[in-house]
């Protein structure tokens, strides 16, 4: 049975010392109805919160004649709305511009653990699986673009975010079964599946083990684990040092505890084409998530399952993925786009492959180049009717 997250409406008042507070105050109409459009050409926006149904509603569209007073659920990142309006909504898409949908923060028990997920929209299901060092928050730019057309479900993976962090079960087969069990609980059958980084490893294992469930697959900035191992040399080891470090028992947790911000700052700065891409409230959202009890251990456990993952991957290495696959990656990430021939790698993995290298982009395409990624996703999803 699904358990809706207990949320309380919180009025966001503008603050003289908080730029996003002033911005959100203007957008939500808190400072009055006569506010200039802060995003020309992208329409006006309003948030409302339904306390009985425990969800927030984002309404975007040039037809709005005035801003409405609204609020965001307690604990829901305020950057979500401002970043979505500033970057993620392609103004040339009138369907997106006129969209009204709810983003629900929900939990359910599936495959023996309590799983947290975001859900929005209706129609053919699209599943978004985040990577490291992220959570479902990574999809804040994609959900508003995809939800007007599809039912979007974005879980926190086992060990990450608000999902349980058990002591075992981090091999990708078990994590893929987490997603399968979540879909069964929600009454969802065949899906379009999108995975980034660690989420792409889960997605790849899911489509290998359950090909009947996946209509099409998107893998973002990911080199399969067995290929990283196969190609290991001094240069690869230098770029994938964290693969080894994260697998050491206990030491990473001891060194990172209380320094989560330093640990995360290194990855976000080193892995993004623009080192400041993940800053401000977005960065603080991730720091908070990875500072929670068990969060670092959960992420480390994901990496510590690499040996078991490679064993599983080698067992069906000769069997290619049969559904359409889109592989996209940042051209400027040293450990992926600059180090590997990504088209050749994914041609080895998939029978029906499309590729899309993204310029001026590192390891986090969905956050670094959200408009480009949204267009690629929507184009690839076209024709997906459930």
pLDDT tens for 44-88 read 333 333 333 333 344 333 322 222 223 333 344 444 443 344 444
Tell me how far apart the alpha carbons of residues 4 and 264 are, in angstroms, rounded to a whole number: 30
Closest C-alpha among 328, 357, 309, 341 to residue 208: 309
Q: Within its chain, how far is the Cα of 341 from the centroid? A: 24
How far from 63 is each of 47, 59, 94, 99, CA to CA, in Å? 15, 10, 11, 11
**Is the four-CA dihedral 80, 83, 85, 87 of positive or negative sign?**
negative
Token digits for 202?
């889960």
Under 8 Å between Cβ of 59 and 66: no
Tell me how far apart the alpha carbons of residues 1 and 146 are, in angstroms, rounded to a whole number: 26
Tell me how far apart the alpha carbons of residues 137 and 283 are, in angstroms, rounded to a whole number: 11
Chain-wide mean pLDDT for the chain?
A: 81
Question: Among the listed ranges 31-40, 68-77, 192-201, 293-302, which one has the minimum average pLDDT value?
Answer: 31-40
pLDDT at 19: 35
pLDDT at 202: 98
How many of the other CB atoms lie within 10 Å of CB of 122?
Answer: 14
SS3 category, 228: helix
Q: Which helix (H) or strand (E) holds 96?
A: helix 94-97
**Is the four-CA dihedral 22, 26, 28, 30 of positive or negative sign?**
positive
Residue scoring higher pLDDT (199 or 49): 199
pLDDT in tens, 281-322: 999 999 999 999 999 999 999 999 999 999 999 999 999 999
Residue scoring higher pLDDT (159 or 56): 159
Tell me how far apart the alpha carbons of residues 289 and 185 are, in angstroms, rounded to a whole number: 25
pLDDT at 8: 30
Token digits for 269?
């700065």
Question: Among the listed ranges 64-73, 146-155, 248-257, 270-279, which one has the minimum average pLDDT value?
Answer: 64-73
Question: What is the average per-residue pLDDT within 92-96?
Answer: 45
Token digits for 40?
């020309």
* Residue listed under structure tokens 């990574």: 138
Q: Which residues pair with 48 in a beta bridge?
A: 57
Tell me how far apart the alpha carbons of residues 170 and 236 are, in angstroms, rounded to a whole number: 24
pLDDT in tens, 337-351: 999 999 999 999 999
Catalytic residues: 197, 303, 363
User: What are the structural domains of the chain?
Assistant: 1-98 (no CATH), 117-381 (3.40.50.1820)
Q: How far apart are the first and last CA of the chain?
A: 24
- If phi > 0 it is left, if psi is from -120 to 50 it is alpha, else beta; for residue 290 that is alpha
């Amino acid at each position: 049975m699904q358990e809706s997250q207990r949320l309380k409406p919180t009025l966001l008042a503008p603050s003289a010392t908080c730029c996003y507070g002033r911005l959100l105050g203007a957008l939500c109409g808190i400072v009055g109805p006569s506010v200039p459009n802060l995003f020309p050409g992208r329409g006006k926006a309003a948030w409302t919160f339904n306390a009985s149904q425990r969800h927030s509603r984002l309404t975007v569209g040039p037809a709005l004649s005035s801003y409405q007073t609204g609020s965001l659920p307690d604990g829901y990142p305020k950057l979500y709305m401002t970043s979505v309006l500033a970057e993620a909504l392609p103004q040339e898409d009138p369907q997106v511009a006129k969209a009204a949908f709810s983003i629900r923060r929900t939990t359910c028990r599936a495959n023996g653990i309590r799983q947290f997920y975001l859900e929005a929209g209706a129609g053919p299901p699209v599943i978004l699986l985040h990577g490291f060092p992220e959570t479902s928050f990574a999809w804040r730019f994609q959900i508003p673009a995809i939800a007007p057309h599809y039912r979007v479900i974005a879980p926190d993976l086992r060990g990450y975010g608000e999902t349980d962090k058990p002591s075992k079960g981090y091999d990708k087969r078990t994590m893929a079964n987490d997603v399968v069990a979540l879909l069964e609980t929600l009454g969802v059958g065949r899906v379009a599946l999108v995975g980034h980084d660690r989420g792409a490893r889960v997605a790849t294992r899911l489509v290998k083990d359950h090909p009947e469930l996946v209509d099409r697959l998107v893998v973002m900035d990911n080199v399969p684990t067995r290929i990283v191992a196969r190609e290991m040399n001094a240069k690869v080891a230098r770029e994938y040092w964290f693969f080894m470090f994260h697998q050491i028992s206990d030491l990473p947790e001891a060194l990172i505890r209380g320094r989560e911000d330093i640990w995360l700052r290194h990855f976000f700065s080193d892995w993004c084409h623009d080192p400041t891409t993940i800053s401000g409230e977005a960065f603080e959202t991730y720091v908070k998530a990875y500072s929670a009890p068990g969060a670092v251990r959960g992420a480390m456990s994901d990496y510590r399952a690499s040996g078991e993952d490679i064993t599983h991957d080698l067992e069906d290495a000769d069997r290619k993925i049969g559904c359409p696959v889109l592989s996209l990656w940042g051209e400027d990430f040293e450990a992926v786009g600059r180090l590997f021939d990504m088209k050749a790698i994914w041609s080895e993995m998939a029978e029906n492959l499309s590729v899309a290298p993204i310029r001026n982009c590192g390891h986090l395409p969905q956050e670094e180049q959200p408009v480009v990624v949204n267009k690629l996703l929507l184009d690839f999803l076209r024709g997906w009717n459930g």
